[in-house]
Structure 1
Amino acid sequence: MCGRYTLTVTLEELLLRYSVDSVNAPFHEPRYNISPSQMVITVLNDGQNNRIGKLKWGLTPPWAKDLKTSTINARAETLLQKSSFKIPFLKKRCLIPADSFFEWKPTANGKQPMRIMMNSEEIFSFAGIYETWTGSDGTKVSGVAVITTEPNQTVSEIHNRMPLILKPEDEKIWLDRTVQDPSVLMPLLQPYSADQMKCYAVSTEVGNVKNDSKRCIKELV
């Protein structure tokens, strides 16, 4: 499960990280508590260049009657089995930039929110898939789902799933729409190395989607 994450960097840092031209770049300001159904920064490739834009967090298959069937996560193990995910996995892949995500750790005093990130505190990329749903009135909604996988050792003490974080060297392959061979794509879907990640406890304030400030990422001491 991945239901909250952060992207606290500037737009300029994003453009540099993903080698994106500033032309047509979307508005962005640091976010400290990104939640489902919101518009989120994504990176796609048009066949020649990386492009940055925003998609709704929640993928709805084209045949769905309404947006109530949207899915925020897609299990790596079922990408080729579920019709909602198979075509997006093979043909409509994207990167979802982040610099941390939250999971809730069970404790004797209740669930404790934890912030999980790279040791370097640098930007990383969730593996995402996207799809466009068209309503009966012609309204189009393009939504994205974060792929999840089994947790590494850092995350396993907190939760039984974690978002699929791509190695930087695998991002180009993931964005390449000409690559549609499952035998090439599936090996990319492995839990990120635990020794490169860290975590710490944060305030329960992050549990409220209305809260989106630096207080959400402040370490509890």
Structure 2
Amino acid sequence: MCGRFALTISSADLRDIFSGLDLDDFPARYNIAPTQPILVVIAGEGREQGSNLADRRAVLVRWGLTPAWVKDPKEFPLLINARAETAIGKASFRAAMRHRRVLIPASGFYEWHRPAKESGEKPQAYWIRPRRGGVIAFAGLMETWSSADGSEVDTGAILTTSANAGISAIHDRMPVVIKPEDFSRWLDCKTQEPREVVDLMQPVQDDFFEAIPVSDRVNKVANMGPDLHEPVVIEKLPRQPEKQRPDDGQLSFF
């Protein structure tokens, strides 16, 4: 899954990466959490004739998708992630997969390794970023929920897939990464049906990311500084001494 991420690249660099994206300046964000506003890139409504720039717009949405058919969001679970394997057919995501696919810029994401209690290891947070640096684009979905009084809320979710070999030791899921050469195809909901972009929803290559152990301060949304990315030394709990059976003198782990 993806429960926290960061976007620390400058708005100028982001405009370049997304081909002239119309975007205001924004501060670096080191700890983006569910229900907070997130920046998403959507297909635009058409540029002037002769423009050689991609037709894209940036908007803010709440992280946590609410399908249009939901009557009361308070009684509906917060959908921060959507499984790529089932999103096409699942009622909560079907319409967004067909009509509102988006890109979610990120500098990287956080993941927690939660080992079994008997392993003697503590849960460990990791900052996972592109090995070569820069920004990435998660595959995302967007939905606009309208209340009975006519007010609207734009919401979004990140698509996830099975973890690759580089991440699977930490977690069994990871965000879907869309490569720059595939931006236009992913965003094109007019000519590209969901089944035609299934090939884009695959785990990124095994060596694409590097995972850096960091402190558990990222668990608190109030912590928002660059110190969240500082590496820490992984500490393991001391192994419990093996017990001896009084009847046969053999060692036992139980």
Q: Same fold (TM over 0.5)?
A: yes
**Residue number in structure 2 paired with 1:124:** 136
* Structure 2 residue corresponding to 1:62, chosen from 44, 68, 72: 68
Q: Give the whole-Å Cα distance in 2 for the aligned partners of 1:21 and 1:173.
A: 17
CA drift at 1:21: 4.2
**Residue number in structure 2 paired with 1:106:** 114
Q: Give the whole-Å Cα distance in 1 for the aligned partners of 2:197 and 2:147.
A: 31
Q: Which runs of 4+ in 1 moved over 4 A?
A: none
Residues 28-67 of structure 1: CA distance to partner in whole angstroms, max 9, x if unpaired?
A: 1101010000001111111431111211101101111222
Matched ranges for 1:162-181 at <5 A: 162-181=174-193
**Residue number in structure 1 paired with 2:35:** 37
Matched ranges for 1:6-85 at <5 A: 6-22=6-22, 25-48=23-46, 49-68=55-74, 69=76, 70-85=78-93
**1:130 is paired with a residue of what secondary structure?**
strand
**Residue number in structure 2 paired with 1:213:** 225
> Structure 1 length as normaliser, TM-score?
0.94
Residues 121-165 of structure 1: CA distance to partner in whole angstroms, max 9, x if unpaired?
A: 110000001000011222200100000100001110000111111
**Residue number in structure 1 paired with 2:207:** 195
| Residue type at the aligned position of 1:72 | I
Distance change (3 Å), C-alpha of 1:153 and 1:73: same
| Residue type at the aligned position of 2:111 | E
Residues 82-128 of structure 1: CA distance to partner in whole angstroms, max 9, x if unpaired?
A: 11111110110100000110110125342100011111111000000
Asked if the contact 1:47–1:177 (Cα under 8 Å) also holds between the matched residues in 2, the reply is no
**Alignment length, in residue pairs?**
219
Q: Give the whole-Å Cα distance in 2 for the aligned partners of 1:200 and 1:173.
A: 32
| Residue type at the aligned position of 1:93 | R
**1:110 is paired with a residue of what secondary structure?**
coil
**2:166 is paired with a residue of what secondary structure?**
helix
**Residue 186, structure 1, aligned to residue 198, structure 2:** yes
Q: Percent identity?
A: 38
| Residue type at the aligned position of 2:61 | L
CA drift at 1:180: 3.6
Asked if the contact 2:161–2:201 (Cα under 8 Å) also holds between the matched residues in 1, the reply is yes
Unaligned runs of 5+ in 2: 47-54, 234-254
> Structure 2 length as normaliser, TM-score?
0.82
Q: Give the whole-Å Cα distance in 2 for the aligned partners of 1:171 and 1:67.
A: 31
**1:148 is paired with a residue of what secondary structure?**
strand
Asked if the contact 1:106–1:112 (Cα under 8 Å) also holds between the matched residues in 2, the reply is yes
CA drift at 1:171: 1.3
Give the root-mean-square deviation of aligned CA atoms: 1.4
Residues 180-217 of structure 1: CA distance to partner in whole angstroms, max 9, x if unpaired?
A: 42331111110011112111101110011111101111
Tell me which protein shows more helix as a share of its residues: 1
**2:211 is paired with a residue of what secondary structure?**
strand
